[in-house]
Amino acid sequence: MVGDTRWTKTQVKKLSKSAGELQEIAEMIRKESKTKALYEIQEYVEKAYPLLAKSWDILKDLILESGRPNASLVVDQIVKDVAPVEIGFNEKGWFRLKMSSLPPKELASNANYIRDVLYAQLADYHRNVGIQKRFHRCVIIFNHIYRFDVPKKQYRDHDNIELNMVVDAIALYVMEDDGAGRCQHYYYSSPGVENATEVYVVPMEEFVDFIQLSKSTESR
């Protein structure tokens, strides 16, 4: 598609349209936030996710089809700049990944964006620090963290698409096998300073230790 000006113009037009719609939502959020708490205007935030994901897909295609030799590196760098992810191992040797947001309700329509973020960040960590596949039988744990001012009735169920997407990404780097016989899933929600999604990979024999530690942390 390099040099196809019609395709480029079409993509830029789509990007401009999405940007305009995002601007309208941002203005609505700005107005509503003056008199309402963030959780009360969450519907507007949720509307922005599909547009963000759509804009990202268009922008990524424009960069990758530009013909520049380092296009994929540019895409990865953009992901790392706009969607930082904390990755590492804690003092107990458990793998931990934290995204500074909650996944959108309609995750299926945003799958490419979330997937690009996870794979780019994990690949970058692996290049710079190095990750060995160390978990043979483990539990992958999801924690949706909600701001303290969000009522518990606003907490939502964890999404199977989210679960599978994150498991696939993490399994590539830190797990020998993500089959049912070797990997079990556990998810819960907790209050915190800011909305976030936290994921742990813990050996099965240490899962009880994780539960006890998480309970003691919540009770503080």
Task: Kindly report, residue by residue over 20-29, the tens digit of the pLDDT.
Answer: 888 888 888 8
Q: How do residues 76-110 score in pLDDT, each as one tens digit? A: 777 777 777 899 999 899 999 998 776 655 554 55
Query: Do 50 and 154 sit in the same domain of this protein?
Result: no
Query: Do 147 and 195 sit in the same domain of this protein?
Result: yes
Q: Is pLDDT of 143 > 80?
A: yes
Q: With respect to residue 74, please indicate whether it lies within any of the assigned structural domains.
A: no
pLDDT at 7: 77
Give dist(CA 12, CA 97) in Å, integer. Answer: 34
pLDDT at 150: 82
pLDDT at 141: 93
Query: Do 213 and 156 sit in the same domain of this protein?
Result: yes
Q: With respect to residue 166, please indicate whether it lies within any of the assigned structural domains.
A: yes
pLDDT at 201: 95
pLDDT at 161: 65
Q: Is pLDDT of 125 > 90?
A: no
Q: With respect to residue 73, please indicate whether it lies within any of the assigned structural domains.
A: no
CATH number at residue 176: 3.30.1330.70
Residue type (1 letter), 149: D
Q: With respect to residue 107, please indicate whether it lies within any of the assigned structural domains.
A: yes
pLDDT band at 220 (very low <50, low <70, confident <90, very high): low
Residue where a domain terminates, one of 67, 90, 112: 67
Which DSSP category does 105 fall into? Answer: S
Q: How many domains does the chain fold into?
A: 2
Query: Do 127 and 93 sit in the same domain of this protein?
Result: yes
27 CB neighbour count, 10 Å cutoff: 11
Average pLDDT over every residue of 66-85? 77
pLDDT band at 159 (very low <50, low <70, confident <90, very high): low
Query: Do 100 and 205 sit in the same domain of this protein?
Result: yes
Give dist(CA 43, CA 172) in Å, integer. Answer: 34
Query: Do 183 and 116 sit in the same domain of this protein?
Result: yes
Burial of 192 (0-12, 13-18, 19+ CB in 10 A): middle
Query: Do 143 and 180 sit in the same domain of this protein?
Result: yes
Query: Do 210 and 120 sit in the same domain of this protein?
Result: yes
Average pLDDT over every residue of 119-133? 82
Task: Name the helix (H) or strand (E) containing 171.
Answer: helix 160-174
Q: With respect to residue 72, please indicate whether it lies within any of the assigned structural domains.
A: no
Check residues 213 and 66 and name the one with the higher pLDDT. Answer: 213
**144: helix, strand or coil:** strand
Query: Do 115 and 215 sit in the same domain of this protein?
Result: yes
Residue where a domain terminates, one of 67, 90, 116: 67
Residue where a domain terminates, one of 41, 67, 93: 67
Q: With respect to residue 120, please indicate whether it lies within any of the assigned structural domains.
A: yes
pLDDT at 103: 62
Angle between helices 160-174 and 111-128 (to 10 degrees): 20
pLDDT at 44: 74
Average pLDDT over every residue of 134-146? 90
Give dist(CA 220, CA 209) in Å, integer. Answer: 17
Average pLDDT over every residue of 124-148? 86
Q: With respect to residue 178, please indicate whether it lies within any of the assigned structural domains.
A: yes
Query: Do 53 and 113 sit in the same domain of this protein?
Result: no
Query: Do 95 and 194 sit in the same domain of this protein?
Result: yes
Q: How do residues 7-57 score in pLDDT, each as one tens digit? A: 788 888 888 888 888 888 888 888 888 888 766 777 777 777 677 777 877
> Percent of the chain, pLDDT > 70?
84
From residue 111, give the alpha-carbon distance in Å to each of 54, 150, 188: 10, 25, 22
Bridge partners for 139 per DSSP: 184, 202
pLDDT at 104: 58
- Residue 149: domain span: 82-220
In contact, 80 and 39? CB cutoff 8 Å: no
Structure tokens at 79: 């992901």
| Residue 177 neighbours by CB under 8 Å, 6+ apart | 136, 171, 183
Query: Do 61 and 128 sit in the same domain of this protein?
Result: no
Q: Is pLDDT of 66 > 70?
A: yes
Give dist(CA 175, CA 130) in Å, integer. Answer: 14
